Amino acid sequence: MELDLGAVRTFLAVVDDGHFTEAAARVGMSQQAVSKRIARLESDLGVPLLIRSRAGVKPTEDGAAFLPHARALISLADQAAAMLRARRRPLRIDVLGRDAAPIDLVRAFYEDSDVDVDIVVSKGAVSPATALTDGSVDAAFGRTTGEVPPGIERAPACLEPIPILVSRRHRLARRRRVRMAELSGLTAWMPGNARDSEWADYYRLLSAEFGVRIDSSGPFFGRDHIMERVAASPDLITFGNKRQYPMSPGVVEIPVTDPMPVYPWSLMWHEANRHPSLPLLIAYAKDRYRPFTTRSQWLPAPDRPLFPADPEPAR
């Protein structure tokens, strides 16, 4: 005996609605077609499943016994169909923002492979662990330290250099590069740095180690406003690059060295995710990753276990 899943689904609709009329509207069929499906299912099973009365419809004793199995059968069928649809859809990747290094990595992956991708820009509104667990995204980039939630896997993806932006009136404006020690005592104005965000924690640790004051006071009126304030001040700096900020003639970008601060981007995914293109992205990111260099780069101490350094050269 082979059960007709359409008939089983119709049986569940009739039980849930309690009337053939409402069930017919739900499944988009005529009442006569619903009755025929139920009759065929009862014939296949060899037992009556429903009792009809003026008050409506309810399961027979055999129908009540069949009900949980029918629900499980339809649930499994829906899961199987969803799994196959998921394998055909684009790979959903949260890059956090379109102005950071992960977008370059994803673009290169897209251009070097035949994988269709769907870019998600969460800007930290939803935690990566939540989005990966509920399947909203297949992969996510971000900074992670310490333990990750159960089921979440991660790997180092890239280290993004962080320069400074200063006014052309600033004493450092004519420099081709600036040593990190020279920023000690200066104020980096970064309004909008959410207190508990991954990037606010990064700059808190940078401030503690190098003596750069991070000022996140004031409302965030947009990046144009930040550039206006920096351009007008002979003292303020901000950490960022030309891609992140709308550059004005009054602002210059200067690389920071000795050491160069780098932002640690990890690629995260859920171990249960079976999208066929996810392993390709993971392998691509691992292959392109270049290790942390202690001689010239700086990472906060909590990030270093995940971003092992190049071995020191023999002397």
Helix (H, G, I), strand (E, B) or coil at 186: coil
pLDDT in tens, 61-78: 998 999 999 899 888 887
Most confidently modeled range among 10-24, 90-104, 112-126, 182-196: 90-104
Instruction: Give phi and psi for 209, each to the nearest 5.
Output: -85, -30
Q: Mean of the pLDDT values across residues 18-31?
A: 87
Residue 90 has pLDDT above 90, yes or no: yes
Q: Mean of the pLDDT values across residues 158-167?
A: 96
Predicted pLDDT at 307: 93
Residue 314 has pLDDT above 70, yes or no: no
Residue 217 has pLDDT above 60, yes or no: yes
Residue 87 has pLDDT above 70, yes or no: no
Q: Mean of the pLDDT values across residues 262-272?
A: 96
pLDDT in tens, 102-114: 999 999 999 999 8
pTM of model > 0.75: no
What are the residues whose beta carbons fall under 8 Å from the beta carbon of 46, sequence distance 6 or more?
A: none
Quick one: pLDDT band at residue 203, thresholds 50, 70, 90? very high
Q: Mean of the pLDDT values across residues 258-281?
A: 95
Residue at token pair 């971000």: 142
Task: With CA atoms as reference, report the closest residue to 97 among 145, 163, 143.
Answer: 143
Predicted pLDDT at 56: 87
Report how far residue 244's alpha carbon sits from residue 199's, in angstroms, rounded to the nearest whole number: 14
Quick one: pLDDT band at residue 315, thresholds 50, 70, 90? very low
Residue 294 has pLDDT above 70, yes or no: yes
HSE, CB side, 13 Å, CA atoms: give it for residue 310.
13
Residue 250 has pLDDT above 80, yes or no: yes
Residue at token pair 């959410």: 194
What are the residues whose beta carbons fall under 8 Å from the beta carbon of 155, sequence distance 6 or more?
A: 266, 267, 282, 285, 286, 289
Choice between 171 and 122, residue whose per-residue pLDDT is larger: 171
Please answer whether residues 152 and 132 qualify as being in contact, where contact means their C-beta atoms are separated by less than 8 angstroms.
yes
Residue 137 has pLDDT above 50, yes or no: yes
Q: Mean pLDDT for the chain? A: 90
Q: Mean of the pLDDT values across residues 301-310?
A: 90
Q: Mean of the pLDDT values across residues 248-275?
A: 95
Quick one: pLDDT band at residue 86, thresholds 50, 70, 90? low
Residue 57 has pLDDT above 80, yes or no: yes
